[in-house]
């Protein structure tokens, strides 16, 4: 068996040219539209799950907490702050990525989706944000994507939620002197400018203080199960959330 023959080298370069052409034209979207119906039917099969009730409860608790905070703030400032206008685009999950924490949804630039828009389920449970946009489809990076960083806030103390891959998220950079309890709800913070504040990331699970570390760490119990949802909402945000 010869390793390099003229024919093999020719096939290799031919493949390179074909792939280059396929990348220039929008071939991916053609495949997505071909398989959309089959994939939506396959995704529906497993869409009932026990976690849905839990999701609603967490969502309501977070909403309550955010409303209390908003109420206090408005009382204090008598309406001096303008909240960013947010409208919602709905979409359906078509598929997950093969190995990485991404999903494909059937709303795209024609529906007004842009890169960076937050994607939620229910009212306010954050699952990720849009990373790629096609005409009719978008790809969403989940919070659990490896090294994906999200600014988090627990009882008004800021930390960092880091994706670990394989649907695992961890809380990092949480000050050691602040209290961190099992079951505390983790919300987004508008500090990083990526997400509006008050979206649910998850709950604190197994908080740890390591002796020579200046920060506390913990696991995050996600408020969603990817296999229990089939519809998502994309928040069409109109301004950056640094405030």
By beta-carbon proximity to another protein, the closer residue of 46 and 206 is 46
Minimum Å gap between C-beta 139 and another protein is 6
101 or 184: CB nearest another protein: 101
Considering the complex, state which of residue 95 and residue 197 has its C-beta at the smaller distance from another protein: 95
Q: Minimum distance between the CB of residue 234 and another protein, rounded to whole angstroms?
A: 17
* Shortest CB 222 distance to another protein, Å: 15
**What is the chain's percent helix, strand, coil content, to nearest 5?**
30, 35, 35
CB 141, min distance to another protein, A? 9
Residues 183, 186: Cα–Cα separation, whole Å = 9
Q: Which is nearer to another protein, 1 or 80 (CB)?
A: 1
Q: Which residues bind another protein (CB under 8 A)?
A: 1, 3, 15-16, 18-20, 22-23, 27-28, 31-32, 35, 38-39, 42-43, 45-47, 95-100, 102, 104, 131-132, 139, 226-227
Using the minimum distance from each CB to another protein, give the nearer residue, 78 or 99: 99
Q: How far is the CB of 124 from another protein (least distance, A)?
A: 23
């Amino acid at each position: 068996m010869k390793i390099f023959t003229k024919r093999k080298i020719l096939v290799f370069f031919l493949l390179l040219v074909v792939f280059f052409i396929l990348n220039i034209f929008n071939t991916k979207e053609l495949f997505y539209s071909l398989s959309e119906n089959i994939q939506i039917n396959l995704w529906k099969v497993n869409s009932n799950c026990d976690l849905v009730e839990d999701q609603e409860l967490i969502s309501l608790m977070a909403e309550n907490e955010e409303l209390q905070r908003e109420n206090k703030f408005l009382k204090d400032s008598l309406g001096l702050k303008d909240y960013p206008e947010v409208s919602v685009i709905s979409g359906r999950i078509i598929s997950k990525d093969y190995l990485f924490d991404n999903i494909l949804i059937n709303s795209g630039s024609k529906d007004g989706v842009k890169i960076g828009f937050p994607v939620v389920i229910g009212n306010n449970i954050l699952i990720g944000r849009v990373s790629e946009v096609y005409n009719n489809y978008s790809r969403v990076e989940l919070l659990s994507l490896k090294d994906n960083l999200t600014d988090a806030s627990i009882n008004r103390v800021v930390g960092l939620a880091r994706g670990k891959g394989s649907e695992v998220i961890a809380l990092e950079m949480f000050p050691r002197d602040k209290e961190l309890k099992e079951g505390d709800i983790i919300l987004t913070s508008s500090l990083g400018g990526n997400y509006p504040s008050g979206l649910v990331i998850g709950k604190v699970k197994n908080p740890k203080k390591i002796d020579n570390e200046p920060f506390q760490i913990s696991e995050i119990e996600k408020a969603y199960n990817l296999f229990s949802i089939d519809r998502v909402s994309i928040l069409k945000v109109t301004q950056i959330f640094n405030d």
